[in-house]
A and B are shown apart, each in its own frame.
Chain A
Amino acid sequence: MRFKCRYFLCELVLQDPRWRRNITAGSVSYNVREAVARLHGDFGIAACSLGLSVKYINAYTGIILLRCRKEFHQLLWTSLPFITSFGNRGQQFACFINTLHVGGTIRTCQKFLIQYNKKQLALLLKNCTNAEERDAIQASIASSLIDEEQEEFLSEEVIN
């Protein structure tokens, strides 16, 4: 039998974006467990930590992917808003967690994240100030579009 899971695609919003490089899988999992224990007590931490793991971390964009059992995912979700600071090696960073997507597989989360990041690029392009930035963002948008075309091309080939 397969254990059903829920994957939480979250964005860690820090007060100062430069703190993002301090994010590690261990510290994220520690902070999340602590928050669950604060809100739901011993039962919550016991139920949640069954399958709780940090699957993916992006220290540049602050994206994290958490996994937990489907039966208890609401325990985890209700305690995520109560995270106000992020502790790592004795330092405390003010932050909050914004859930972007809750999916049943990593694949759906990945699809969502790609779409989300493309939209973010478009927003960045709108808000950029100097010419260098604009060139860099336009180049990355172009490369993301090329990837998409190639994928479509490959999938068409497979079908044919």
Chain B
Amino acid sequence: MALFVDLNITNCKEVKKLQSMIEMAAHLGYSAVAINHVAEFGKKKAEIVKPIATKDLFPSPPTVQGKSTPIKILTRLTIVASDPSHCNVLRSSSPITKLYDIVAIYPDTEKLFHTVCTATDVDIICINVTEKYPFFFKRPPLRPSSHERIYAAGIFFELIYTPAIKDFTLRRNTISNALSLMEVCKGKNIIISSGAEKPLELRGPYDVATLGLPFGLSERSAKSALSTNCRAALLHGETRKTAFGITYTMKKPRDDEEEEESAEPASKKAKKE
């Protein structure tokens, strides 16, 4: 059975609220959740904050419903951009974005949407579902060539279902936007996530998979939008920390004493040689 992942749980300052949300996600059967940190580049230079330390949240994370493993807590950065220059943060491979497991971008304008679609190193492109979209996901901009590039690059489009639950106008906009996206994407490279701010806004994974039907997804692709596609996005995010996706370096936490001990035999070895 595939593991279900929810890649968008809104970060809030109240730790208790966040904890109850993660507990609820574990109860519903999600094996991993990502806490979403938003950096808005709209008016002034926004700073990217350090991600919340997952170890501070829970001493021992709650176990997943129906499994014996504890829930996995990840971090995610969403950049709200309205100008192509905002994407420079991503290109320069700054150390702060490396702290996050996944990086998503939320393009505001049509032009940016298409530049993002063709040339940026992100894992997820968020689709604003709440408003009537100012532009269509037209065929010419998302040409087959650029589109195939997206498939090949493993970038995913994200749909959020929480606004649809809240209000009926938002629900209509969500469904129409989702359907127009499906016309172009044909059910591929889609992620459905919650975007929940309260524990009661989360839904069970099988319920969300059926929510894909009114969004224009088939049953199979709706289920993969919750499980395999999310896993692919996570792996895509992991490759950012590696060199060309081949080698991965990691600092080993070490005490001073150990270093001294390990240093000695090395020097002895050198002498022998």
Contacts and interface: CB of A to CB of B under 8 A. Distances in A.
A91 B133 CA distance: 37
Interface string B197-214: 000111110111011011
A153 interface: no
B200 A98 contact: no
B182 interface: no
A141 interface: no
Interface stretch (A25-33, A47-55, A76-84): A76-84
Interface residues of B, number: 23
Contacts of B210: 74, 77-78, 81
Contact of B203 (A74, A98, A100): A98
Contacts of A82: 164-165, 171
A84 B165 contact: yes
Contacts of B201: 96
A58 interface: no
Contact of B206 (A95, A99, A126): A99
B168 interface: yes
Contacts of B161: 81
A4 interface: no
Nearest to B161: A81
A119 B28 CA distance: 13
A102 B209 CA distance: 13
Given A84-B165, A119-B66, A15 B200 contact: yes
Contact of A80 (B65, B200, B207): B207
B120 interface: no
A16 B168 CA distance: 25
Contacts of A84: 165-166, 200
Contacts of A99: 204, 206-207
Given A81-B203, A94-B200, A74 B213 contact: yes
Contacts of B207: 77, 80-81, 97-99
A38 interface: yes
Main DSSP-derived SS at the B contact region:
helix
Contacts of A78: 210-211, 213-214
Contacts of B203: 81, 96, 98
A56 to B, nearest CB: 19
B168 to A, nearest CB: 7
B209 to A, nearest CB: 10
Interface string B58-78: 000001011000000000000
A82 B202 CA distance: 11
Contacts of B65: 119
Contacts of A100: 204
Interface string B85-125: 00000000000000000000000000000000000000000
Residue from B63, B166, B206 having most chain A Cβ neighbours under 10 A: B206
Residue from A39, A95, A102 having most chain B Cβ neighbours under 10 A: A39
A98 B204 contact: yes
A20 to B, nearest CB: 15
B214 to A, nearest CB: 6
10 contacts: A39-B171, A39-B214, A74-B213, A77-B207, A78-B213, A81-B208, A81-B211, A82-B164, A96-B200, A98-B204
A-B complex: 5 closest residue pairs judged by Cβ atoms? A98-B204, A81-B207, A77-B210, A81-B203, A99-B207
Interface of B: 24, 28, 63, 65-66, 161, 164-166, 168, 171, 200-204, 206-208, 210-211, 213-214
